[in-house]
Amino acid sequence: MEHRINNEVKSIEISGIRKFFNLVNDYDNMVSLTIGQPDFPTPEHIKKMTIEAIHRNHTTYTHNAGILSLRTAISNYVKERYQLDYHPEEEILVTVGASEAIAATLKTILDQGDEVILPGPVYPGYEPLITLNGAKAVYVDTRQSKFKLTAELIEPMITSRTKAILIPYPSNPTGVTLSEEELKAIASLLDDKDIFLIADEIYSELIYEKDHFSIGRCRKIKDKTIIINGVSKSHSMTGFRIGYILGPAWLIQHILKVHQYYVSCATSVSQYAALEALTNGKNDAEVMRDAYRERRDFVYKRLVEMGISTYLPDGGFYYFIPLSSSSKSSLEIALELVEKERLALVPGSAFSKYGEGYLRLSYAYDLDTLKKGLNRLEQFLIDF
């Protein structure tokens, strides 16, 4: 009966990150620097509020868009943090993680044959969702622009089929972000075009040398801009599955319909946990960010000592390491690294063809683990 299932589902694959993680998971004495998940426990006050929400019987369906107190907290949080103005009752939608936010948004705006422009290399979760809606992912090669999707690169890729441009910054897998000037240039490019701008800002709290500038501040395109964010990375709450969408009221009401039929509402107790995170835990990310900065700097020093030509990431917790071979793919090199040194890094090919020749290293691990992993990488390079 397999021939009877949806052809677009058959055409997509499990994420290359997860495939590789599962492939090496059973090896003994393995140091894995693969998964982009905070290694900090969820803050205690958030866990206590989750338990309290259960005891208070906050275990039923909520408003489809999320409890109003949480939407109000999100509104206040993004106003204080990023100078964004979104009305809690009409312009904010609470979702089951940022992943569902992206899925519901794309389902709402895409028609058969549409095109979505996005940078390459990029997180592998976008293209399958675009494909499932009968649309096409159009990658822009950003390897020569320091992995930045700029207005200059976007403009020649726009066609009559372009429905949306997706800018995921700070970036997974590269850790780079866009400056205020670069984002304003994209806004100017789209000012007179009927094209949506989707900004995945899930790593916005993990920027090191400067404050995050959200393209949602560009008022000239606010009516076509959709901001995706959540508490997974900022508050180490990946398992709580709370994300949110910020957008114009006319569009949110349509995304809400898709969200309603997909999931009804985000998990009730997780919503109360997120409420605690975005009110009494507004500064929880600072301790984690300081630790990630220390780890980032340590990894940079070690990579430079090894002779690897790299850069200092702006945010997130990833390095995209150039490690090419004339005869071997990034997957083959990653597997060789596993076999010889018991070190797992994600092959760059998992992030589109523009990631070939690179390996992604996640530094969302403690310093002892990073030291051990980098020592193994250095030994591998000696024999490479």
pLDDT tens digits along 16-39: 677 777 777 777 888 999 988 999
Structure tokens at 115: 């095109």
CATH of the domain at 163: 3.40.640.10
Asked if the structure places residue 103 within a domain, the reply is: yes
**Which ranges of 135-234 would DSSP assign to H, the alpha helix?**
151-154, 180-190
Q: Report d(CA 168, CA 176) in Å as an integer.
A: 10
Which of 17-26, 202-211, 221-230 is predicted least confidently? 17-26
- Domain total in the chain: 2
At 21 the pLDDT is: 73
Which string of DSSP letters, residue by residue, matches 96-110?
SHHHHHHHHHHHHH-
CATH of the domain at 323: 3.90.1150.10
User: 196 and 154, same structural domain?
Assistant: yes
User: 114 and 135, same structural domain?
Assistant: yes
User: 321 and 258, same structural domain?
Assistant: no
At 100 the pLDDT is: 98
Tracing tokens 């006319």 back to the chain, one arrives at 250
User: 244 and 335, same structural domain?
Assistant: no
Q: Report d(CA 198, CA 102) in Å as an integer.
A: 9
Asked if the structure places residue 53 within a domain, the reply is: no
User: 309 and 263, same structural domain?
Assistant: no
In this model, does residue 114 exceed pLDDT 80? yes
CA-to-CA dists, residue 358 to 169, 211, 329, angstroms? 19, 28, 9
Q: What is the mean pLDDT of the chain?
A: 95
What is the dihedral sign for C-alpha 98, 103, 107, 112? Answer: positive
Asked if the structure places residue 48 within a domain, the reply is: no
In the chain, pLDDT over 90 holds for what percent of residues? Answer: 88
In this model, does residue 4 exceed pLDDT 90? no
Strand segments, DSSP code E, in 4-91 are 31-32
Q: Which of 236, 261, 279 is the last residue of a domain?
A: 279
User: 100 and 125, same structural domain?
Assistant: yes
Strands 136-141 and 115-120: parallel
Q: Which of 232, 262, 279 is the last residue of a domain?
A: 279
Closest residue by Cα to residue 97 from 230, 204, 228:
230
At 9 the pLDDT is: 83
User: 292 and 266, same structural domain?
Assistant: no
Return the higher-pLDDT residue of 320 and 28. Answer: 320
User: 291 and 275, same structural domain?
Assistant: no
Q: Report d(CA 278, CA 247) in Å as an integer.
A: 19
User: 244 and 114, same structural domain?
Assistant: yes
User: 250 and 140, same structural domain?
Assistant: yes
At 19 the pLDDT is: 73
Average pLDDT over residues 226-244: 98
Asked if the structure places residue 361 within a domain, the reply is: yes
Asked if the structure places residue 7 within a domain, the reply is: yes
Q: Report d(CA 222, CA 247) in Å as an integer.
A: 8
Domain that holds residue 354: 2-42+284-383
User: 248 and 107, same structural domain?
Assistant: yes
User: 37 and 81, same structural domain?
Assistant: no
Asked if the structure places residue 210 within a domain, the reply is: yes
Asked if the structure places residue 55 within a domain, the reply is: no
CA-to-CA dists, residue 383 to 88, 303, 341, 379, 380, angstroms? 57, 16, 11, 7, 5
At 11 the pLDDT is: 83
For 97, phi and psi rounded to 5 degrees? 75, 170
Q: What is the pLDDT of residues 164-188, one digit of tens each?
A: 999 999 999 999 999 999 999 999 9
CA-to-CA dists, residue 334 to 45, 144, 263, angstroms? 40, 23, 37
Q: Which of 222, 250, 279 is the last residue of a domain?
A: 279
Asked if the structure places residue 47 within a domain, the reply is: no
Q: What is the pLDDT of residues 250-272, one digit of tens each?
A: 999 999 999 999 999 999 999 99
